[in-house]
Copies of this chain bind each other. A is one copy, B any other.
Amino acid sequence: MSEINKLKILNDPIYGFITITNPLVYDLIQHPYFQRLRRISQMGMSYLVYPGAHHTRFHHALGCMHIMQKTIQVLKFKGTDISTEEETALNIAILLHDIGHGPFSHAMEHSIVENVNHEAISLLFMDRLNQIFEGKLTLAIQIFKGEYHRKFMLQLISSQLDMDRMDYLKRDSFYSGVAEGNINSERLIQMFDVQDDMLVIEEKGIYSVEKFLVARRLMYWQAYLHKTSVAAELILTKILKRAKELTQQGVILSSSDPLQFFLQNKINLEDFNEEVLTKFSYLDDFDIMGAIKSWQFNDDYVLSELSKMIINRDLLKIKMQAEKVDKSQVIELRDRLMKLNNLSEKEADYFVFKGKIKNQAYNKTGEPIHILKKDRTIEDVVDASDQLNLKALSKPVTKYYLCFPKVLLEKAAC
């Protein structure tokens, strides 16, 4: 295929068109590692609440690249020098920033591998692709790792107001129909500038930043941390845990080969050699959901019951509250379930459990969102806004949940 034919235009219902302006970017998109992202949903189990939320990591990554291109245009228009090499590197870095995500995105981040986060795996993929593409990704990787001397470039990829967050809020809002999450990314992009090697937002964009933070918080509580999604993702985690447990006991569960590999082996970051990476690259939502579909009919009560819950959307009851859940409540429910269904304590623990979730719209202790004042000084958005106490948005919110089977519902205090 000629280089010129690699300059493609893709339809996107959000931005209209996404343009591939570079043959190397085209080749990366064509690579099976990246094509895999077509089979990894962006919003995990949220489709059980919002039936439209079936969009993928693939689409999100392209969307990020699109707004990166727009942002680069704005920064250049305002006088920041960005070379063609840097531009390509930024496009690649944002395109690949999530390539290490496993099935169902965040839902299973720590279930398949042992304490390896997706950023670390993204880096492994990038290094491998850099070999394949003979060093052409080196600058992108430098930027991604924060090792490049121009610091604002990392902020474009990873900060509290980066391309990633802008695209996922807009995209998740669009596909799920949670209209309140929609942000005005176009305006935010117009407000970007670089000052003292820092990514900043012009002062007149301060309301848009505030709206962005409010929208983000709203998406968390209304979509990402919606109690039904949370319940479904917890069940998913429990299913994987049970499957690993059974596998360790020597039970052979039907599953795809790559999934079988990760059931049988505990993989830490140091184990991630090329072979393991290849296995990992074969894993996607289809392996998990395919296994769960077949596990519905497994002899193990725990595995089959939990699997049916996901497939038929007949989930555990979840109760969410501002106060901690009392341990005694868990014990009481668990004991009732043990008696009712003749289960061991360990088995019952799969159905009755508690925990907490936390969210913080803006993290004052992390890298701040910088506001560029008219006098060219820079302030943290929280300090710059004299109108809304943005501090409120910096306060982490914690919620506590309790899960248990519906069969216990009549007598539970809900």
Q: A219 — nearest CB in chain B belongs to which residue?
A: B207
A26 on interface, CB distance cutoff 8 Å: no
How distant is the Cα of A222 from the Cα of B210 in the complex, in angstroms?
A: 13
Q: A18 — nearest CB in chain B belongs to which residue?
A: B51
How distant is the Cα of A25 from the Cα of B59 in the complex, in angstroms?
A: 34
Q: With A51-B59, A221-B207, A313-B38 as known contacts, state yes or no: A322 contacts B187, CB within 8 Å.
A: no
- Chain B residues contacting A82 (CB-CB under 8 Å) are none
Asked if residues A190 and B9 are in contact (CB atoms below 8 Å), the reply is yes
Interface size class on chain A is: 35 or more
Q: With A16-B186, A175-B13, A392-B392 as known contacts, state yes or no: A293 contacts B289, CB within 8 Å.
A: no
A389 on interface, CB distance cutoff 8 Å: yes
- Chain B residues contacting A397 (CB-CB under 8 Å) are 386-387
Interface string of A192-223 (1 = CB under 8 A from B): 00000000000000011011001101100110
| A386 CB, nearest partner CB in chain B, Å | 6
Asked if residues B30 and A313 are in contact (CB atoms below 8 Å), the reply is yes
Q: A31 — nearest CB in chain B belongs to which residue?
A: B312
Q: With A12-B52, A38-B51, A54-B54 as known contacts, state yes or no: A311 contacts B180, CB within 8 Å.
A: no
A176 on interface, CB distance cutoff 8 Å: yes
Asked if residues A35 and B179 are in contact (CB atoms below 8 Å), the reply is no
| A127 CB, nearest partner CB in chain B, Å | 21
- Chain B residues contacting A393 (CB-CB under 8 Å) are 388
- Chain B residues contacting A395 (CB-CB under 8 Å) are 389
Q: With A290-B290, A313-B35 as known contacts, state yes or no: A17 contacts B190, CB within 8 Å.
A: yes
Q: With A175-B13, A176-B11, A176-B13 as known contacts, state yes or no: A218 contacts B222, CB within 8 Å.
A: no
How distant is the Cα of A105 from the Cα of B286 in the complex, in angstroms?
A: 17
Interface string of A150-187 (1 = CB under 8 A from B): 00000000000000000000000011111110101011
| A153 CB, nearest partner CB in chain B, Å | 24
A261 on interface, CB distance cutoff 8 Å: no
Q: Which of A1-56 contact B (CB under 8 A)?
A: 9-14, 16-17, 30, 32, 35, 38-39, 41, 47-52, 54-56
24 A-B pairs in the complex with CB atoms less than 8 angstroms apart: A11-B177, A12-B52, A13-B176, A13-B177, A16-B177, A16-B186, A30-B312, A30-B313, A30-B314, A35-B311, A52-B59, A54-B56, A179-B186, A179-B187, A180-B187, A180-B207, A180-B208, A182-B182, A207-B222, A211-B218, A214-B214, A256-B293, A286-B286, A286-B289
A contact residues vs B (CB 8 Å cutoff): 9-14, 16-17, 30, 32, 35, 38-39, 41, 47-52, 54-56, 58-59, 62, 174-180, 182, 184, 186-187, 190, 207-208, 210-211, 214-215, 217-218, 221-222, 256-257, 282, 284, 286-287, 289-290, 293-294, 297, 311-314, 322, 386-389, 391-393, 395, 397
Given A10-B51, A30-B312, output 19 extra A-B contacts at Cβ < 8 Å: A9-B190, A11-B51, A11-B52, A13-B177, A16-B179, A17-B187, A30-B313, A32-B312, A39-B289, A51-B62, A52-B55, A179-B184, A207-B217, A210-B218, A211-B215, A214-B214, A286-B286, A286-B289, A387-B397
